[in-house]
Amino acid sequence: MTRLSVNINKVATLRNARGENAPDIVEFALAAERAGAQGITVHPRPDERHITRADVYELRRVITTEFNIEGYPSPEFLKLVLEVKPEQVTLVPDAPDAITSSAGWDVIGRQDFLAPIVERLHSAGIRTSIFVDPDPAQVKEAARIGADRVELYTKPYADMFPLDPDKAVEAYIPAAKAAVDSGIGLNAGHDLNTHNLNFLYRRLPRLDEVSIGHALISDCLYWGLDETVRKYLKCLMPHQ
């Protein structure tokens, strides 16, 4: 089964626009779980422009599914996740001022930096995923340095999908096979939505988890949270 993790960063962005606590991200996370989401993802950034450190601690207390924290492994980020101990940490190569993730790690070139971090997280009992482009060599290197999973960066897939779905997914198939052959798990995320998710799911049958934020939160404005989660879960079924 491919699990759906709802990224709630955009809910925090809306809340922060007024400097108050509406919408309440803790209540939203709990409502997403009740609707059927199998995980909650956050990406706290140094400037706290959406998810704050305080949010992370509050969410840890109440999430009953799976908590996934994404971020660049700065000393401050590592201190946070080692205190909170989520089920999964996803390491991303974003600069502090990045609007959103825009590329995967060069794991081959940064192995000396990433390997000790993976080991440190493992020592704390935290599953570790490395955000990568759909490149089998990078996937294999992530496995070699001890990552439990990789998360494939799917924006190139999403951009190409309306023009040529088969071409869009082409690079992802060998990358996914490299993960399976290396004995590690496979996640995916970025710009996935109800139009392109099922096709990716059917082409990558060993997909463990998708993390979806912007499109899913936007869809809630039209359909409501329960119906939106239901639609995304339906996309993670084989015969759609």
Residues known to be catalytic = 43, 70, 190
Contacts of 70 (CB under 8 A, 6+ apart): 41, 42, 43, 89, 90, 91, 92, 101, 131, 211
Q: CA-to-CA distance for 151 and 128, rounded, in angstroms? A: 10
Q: CA-to-CA distance for 125 and 179, rounded, in angstroms? A: 21
Q: Which amino acid is at 195?
A: H
Q: CA-to-CA distance for 174 and 181, rounded, in angstroms? A: 10
22 C-beta neighbours (distance < 10 Å), count:
9
**Contact present, 146 and 182 (Cβ < 8 Å):** no
Q: Which amino acid is at 137?
A: A
- The tokens describing 180, both together, are 């399976």
**Contact present, 101 and 61 (Cβ < 8 Å):** no
